[in-house]
């Protein structure tokens, strides 16, 4: 039980009379078990790699999945669970960094990416050690501008990372 709950088991004994002893066992169980969330990249959908144990949160590749709402709703749900996890835990001072490294995304994906960014901004309002890094190719000014626009609308400053083209 201690392994499953990830908490210590506390107990106490109290003698009620000469024949009986009252034993109290206390096990704290968190409602939220945060698991890593991974989606493999395809030719039309990005790689999602959210691994809280390694403090790795990355979305990369092309985003034009056949059913954009269905694809992103599970990601947004995971982010909600992550936020609840942060609310219920003693967060460390370690930086939580979301890396966006898109090659391309369509307009419907942009709506969901923006929703994601707004949720991260909300998390940042509670935990200041949260950032978004927006990666772009040095010659892709459109991707840079898309990141700037997402940042402006989400009201959350991004860090911009220029990738060298080789």
Distance from chain centroid for Cα 129: 13
Instruction: Tell me the pLDDT of the chain (166 aa) as tens digits.
Output: 545 445 567 777 777 667 666 676 766 555 555 678 999 999 999 999 999 888 889 999 999 999 999 999 999 999 999 998 887 765 556 789 999 999 999 999 999 999 999 999 999 988 888 999 999 999 999 999 999 999 999 999 999 999 987 6
Largest CA distance in the chain: 83
Q: For residue 76, which of 42, 103, 131, 37 has the smallest C-alpha distance?
A: 37
Q: What is the CATH number of domain 32-163?
A: 3.30.750
pTM, two decimal places: 0.77
**Phi (first) and psi of residue 157, to 5 degrees:** -70, 130
CA atoms within 13 A on the CB side of 147: 23
100-111 burial, b at 16+ Cβ within 10 Å, e below that, comes to bbbeebeebbbe
CB atoms within 10 A of CB 7: 14
Residue 12 in 3-state DSSP? Answer: strand
- Which 8-state DSSP code applies to residue 70? H
Domain extent listing, the chain: 1-30, 32-163
């Amino acid at each position: 039980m201690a392994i499953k709950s990830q908490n210590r088991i506390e107990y106490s004994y109290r003698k009620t009379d000469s024949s009986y002893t009252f034993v109290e066992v206390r096990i704290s169980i968190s409602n939220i078990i945060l698991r890593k969330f991974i989606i493999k990249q395809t030719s039309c959908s990005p790689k999602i790699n959210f691994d809280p144990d390694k403090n790795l949160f990355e979305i990369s590749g092309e985003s034009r999945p056949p059913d954009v709402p269905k694809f992103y709703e599970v990601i947004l749900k995971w982010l909600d669970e992550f936020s609840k996890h942060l609310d219920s835990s003693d967060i460390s001072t370690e930086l939580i960094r979301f890396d966006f490294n898109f090659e391309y995304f369509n307009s419907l994906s942009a709506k969901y990416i923006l929703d994601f960014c707004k949720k991260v901004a909300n998390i940042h309002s509670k935990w200041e050690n949260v950032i978004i890094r927006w990666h772009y190719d040095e010659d892709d000014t459109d991707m840079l501008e898309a990141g700037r626009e997402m940042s402006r609308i989400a009201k959350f400053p991004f860090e911009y990372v220029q990738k060298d083209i080789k």
